[in-house]
Amino acid sequence: MAHLPPPPPPPPPIKSQSTMSYINPLHPPVAASQKSQFSSLGGAVQPNAAQSASSFISPFRRRLPQPPYTPASKWRTATGRTNQVHSAIAFDYLGYAKQGVPMREMSTRSTVALAQMIQGAGDAVLAHTGVARITLRIIWPGYEHVEWARSIEINANGPITRAQLGAIISQNFARYIEKTRTEAARSSEWHLGSSGIRFEHMVLVALCNVFEDVWQADVAVDLR
């Protein structure tokens, strides 16, 4: 049996105000044997340890453990649709599978730049849902007491694209971090702030439909 060639060398770091480096979207694609086949919605929002550890090529990248949103009202929980109707919307660099895209890139790059970097950047990813808006919920470990629910218009100026949706989600997380600055973290492992996890560490992997019109971001943290 022929041996596969060794994987390509790591790309050079992208210089910025942070010392962090990212996968270079213009680098040759990763070998198929290195690509994750992880696609479960339940695992994406609330992964087990094996999935969280093996889903990413980078050894520095970990998936954020999140409980799926459930309404406070027992009546809504009992009568609402809790099963997934719409499949998860993935965010990936061209040539990479299920590795995610750093939120800093999604929120600062132009639409033209993202079209050259992101797989299916111009796809109208929510057009098939037939709804005018969705609700984005953020439930961060240790900050469950911080309420974050924001409505996203998906047909305001024509069907929203994958790149536009990724930018909006990323901007929401940036604002969420601002809001939590005055909040006490109940988890030291996932603490947000200058001495913990910062916006430049956050990676958007997918957007998952968790309850009726409520969606949550599948997020990874990369501390390189």
Of 82, 52, 119, 67, the C-alpha closest to 214 is 82
7 falls within a domain: no
42 falls within a domain: no
Top mean-pLDDT range of 2-11, 16-25, 169-178: 169-178
Q: What is the pLDDT of residues 35-59, one digit of tens each?
A: 333 333 345 455 444 445 458 999 9
16 falls within a domain: no
Q: How many domains does the chain have?
A: 1
182 falls within a domain: yes
Could you tell me which residues come within 8 angstroms of residue 143 by beta carbon, excluding any fewer than 6 positions away? 180, 183, 185, 186, 187, 192
Copy the structure tokens of residue 129. Answer: 């849902």
Could you tell me which residues come within 8 angstroms of residue 62 by beta carbon, excluding any fewer than 6 positions away? 52, 53, 56, 220, 221, 222
For the chain, how many helices (H) and strands (E)? 6, 7
192 falls within a domain: yes
| CB of 220 closer than 8 Å to CB of 36 | no
31 falls within a domain: no
Integer-rounded Cα Rg, in Å, for the chain is 18
**Greater model confidence, 10 or 120:** 120
Q: What is the pLDDT of residues 109-167, one digit of tens each?
A: 998 999 999 999 999 999 988 889 999 999 999 999 999 999 999 988 889 999 999 99
Of 177, 143, 163, the C-alpha closest to 207 is 163
161 falls within a domain: yes
| CB of 169 closer than 8 Å to CB of 219 | no
Instruction: State which residues form the domain around 157.
Output: 72-222
67 falls within a domain: no
